Amino acid sequence: MGKKTKQTPKPKVTAAEITIGIVPIDEVDKKHVALVERNLRRLGFQTVRLERQKRAPWIKVKRGHVCGNELCGWLSHFRSPHQFGNIVGVTNHPLFYHDGTGLHGFQSSDRCLISVDKLKTRAGIRGLLIHEVAHLFNLDHCDDLTCLMNGHTDPDEVQDRFCSVCEALFSEATGWRPWYRILTLTLSPTYRWIYQLVLAFLSLLAIAWSFTADDLWTRRTLLTLGTLGWASVLWSALPPNKLSRQL
């Protein structure tokens, strides 16, 4: 089965031209807000972090769960067209939809909301963030169970990558390209092996040249670059879940 719907992404912009406002809500942990900001920047977006906001009293709360669509609608009060075009709200409250369905995140128009309440890993938070941000650029849910855009998978368990179709749509909408994966650490297995092999070859070449160089500074520089290259190869070879915990 393919996509449920094929939507046209928003027109041609690059992530560097898109500024996203980050709104911390209530008592959400600063480290989670910082993680959200860091990952948005790694995708190439500009960010503006707002002061912590206390949610409006009229937003429905049932058994400790906050109404996600009302909370997301409330975020429109912080829209600042001259500063940023999209808004990401970050909360530690569990969410529900108006029909009572539990939510991890919610998106409406130019706003999205993520709840870090039940997420156990940084990879889960990052995956949920990218999922909701992709909705801002008209990507729909995907039937591929390994894709970030699958709407029925626990964010802590989904693989930290797009399928090929969603990757192409997100790339077209934001200017994001697969080589950004080296920075965002969302390499698929194929890309990861290619990256590791090329880097390992260049690192060995630098180390070999360091023994033949006449100048001491050149020898040390090549040896340092080669060593750092090998360290990067070993680091990127770690399993994605272990790697994500170090971010």
Q: Which residue has the tokens 């971010």?
A: 247
Residue among 159, 225, 224 nearest 188 (CA): 159
Segment 9-27 mean pLDDT: 74
Quote the percentage of the chain above a pLDDT of 70. Answer: 77
Closest residue by Cα to residue 174 from 2, 4, 20: 20
Overall average pLDDT of the 53-72 stretch:
87
Distance of CA 122 to the CA centre of its chain: 10
E strands, the chain, where? 19-24, 46-49, 61-62, 65-67, 86-91, 95-96, 102-103, 105-108, 111-115
Q: pLDDT exceeding 90 applies to what percent of the chain?
A: 6
Q: Residue 23: name the closest of 95, 74, 88 by CA.
A: 88
Handedness of CA 151, 44, 42, 50 (dihedral sign): negative
In this predicted structure, the answer to whether residue 128 has a pLDDT above a threshold of 50 is: yes
Instruction: State both tokens at 217.
Output: 């500074």
**96-121 tens-digit pLDDT:** 887 777 888 888 888 999 988 877 78
pTM for the full predicted model: 0.66
HSE toward the beta carbon, residue 221, CA cutoff 13 A: 6
Distances (CA, A) of 10 to 3, 88, 105, 145: 18, 18, 21, 25
For the chain, the average pLDDT equals 77
Does residue 227 contact residue 221 with C-beta atoms inside 8 Å? no
